[in-house]
Amino acid sequence: MASVPQPTTPLSRARTYASFVRFEHTLFSLPLILAGVFSAPGPALSPMRWGLLLIAAVGARTAAMAINRLVDRRLDSLNPRTRERELPSGKMKLFEAWALLVVSIAAYVAACAALGPWFLRVSPVPLLVFTLYPYLKRFTAFCHFGVGAALALAPLAGYAAAHPDLAHPAVALWLAAFALVWVAGFDIIYATLDEDFDRANGVHSMVAWLGRQRALRVSAMLHNLASYLLIPIAILLVGPLNGKSLPLIIAPFLLCVVTNFLLRLEQKWAEDVNLAFFKVNVWVGFAVLAIVLLGRLAGGGF
């Protein structure tokens, strides 16, 4: 007997759209945006500015995922691991994906315009990075740094929204450097899922180029570098030590050690990508946010 099609409801469509843009991956970018907000001293954000920052962040991230899915829809239809994604499986129509992209870009640009003229002028930069990234795998094994660059924009965006005068950017820049190598490292782990497919279809990645084990060694080196990049962040935030509480001074540096431990766990469990990528890795961003918050508190508060 033929199966009876399930009725389409607004809730089911919302779930499809959320799955299409991998809404749960917001847990990687949101802590970095907040870390950027609190990376330098300044007046507290108004509720309106917080709202505009949220709209810009959600719009930009939704646009990034929609662009990625639209560009990769042919590859996704060929790959057994991804052929059940929304576009290749037909769960979502092509015009719906384009409509979602247009709406998300419109929301992002409108929020940037409301944040200020400078934000509107630079608003195409993230969209350009998001568009370039999915094409990198067509011609370079260094494509992982494309997604790293996309996430590196998160702390810079949070910093700029909270500090329109762009004063004291050092911590935000170190955060961006951390995000670049951290995300590139875990994207290499994620690419191990498609090693055979990528080689057979001419898709470039560190894994397809170097082989699984050597690529994972590159990932481990990137994560070691990411750990070291957290130290100047803590130093800059804590500032001079005179007259400050010792526990507050020590706390952000202890969290640097915790973050290093999490990254080492991620490497240790790299064979289980779901565990390493979606469970361990998600805590790294929150650990970095905690380093920033405790560092600001140790350095003189908010």
Give residue-wise pLDDT tens across range 29-71: 899 999 999 999 988 899 999 999 999 999 999 999 999 999 9
Query: Considering the entire predicted model, what is its pTM?
Result: 0.92
Q: What is the mean pLDDT of residues 135-154?
A: 96
Q: Report how far residue 154's alpha carbon sits from residue 157's, in angstroms, rounded to the nearest whole number.
A: 5
Average pLDDT, the chain: 91
Asked whether the predicted pLDDT for residue 1 surpasses 60, the reply is no
**Are 209 and 199 within 8 A, CB to CB?**
no
Q: What tokens does 260 get?
A: 């290093």
d(CA 247, CA 119): 39
- Long-range own/partner contacts, residues 61-64 (CB < 8 A, 24 or more apart): 61/21, 61/25, 61/26, 61/29, 62/21, 62/100, 62/101, 62/104, 63/101, 63/104, 63/105, 63/108, 63/127, 63/130, 64/126, 64/130, 64/133, 64/150
The Cα 299–Cα 302 span in angstroms is 9
Check residue 24 and give its pLDDT: 63
Could you report the per-residue pLDDT of 221-244, keeping only the tens digit for each? Answer: 999 999 999 999 999 999 888 777
Backbone angles phi, psi at 141, to 5 degrees: -75, -10
Q: CA 168, CA 41: separation in Å to the nearest integer? A: 8
189 confidence band (pLDDT: 50, 70, 90)? very high
Longest dimension (CA), the chain: 78
- Predicted confidence (pLDDT) at residue 274 exceeds the cutoff of 90: no
The reported pLDDT for the residue numbered 7 is: 56
Give the pLDDT of residue 273: 83
Sequence length of the chain is 302
Of 101-110, 199-208, 273-282, least confident by mean pLDDT is 273-282
b or e along 282-292 (b: 16 or more beta carbons within 10 Å of the residue's beta carbon)?
ebbbbbbbbbb
Residue 202 has pLDDT above 60, yes or no: yes
Residue 2, pLDDT score: 40
- Delineate the domains of the chain, giving CATH numbers in brackets: 20-298 (1.10.357.140)
**270: pLDDT strictly greater than 50:** yes
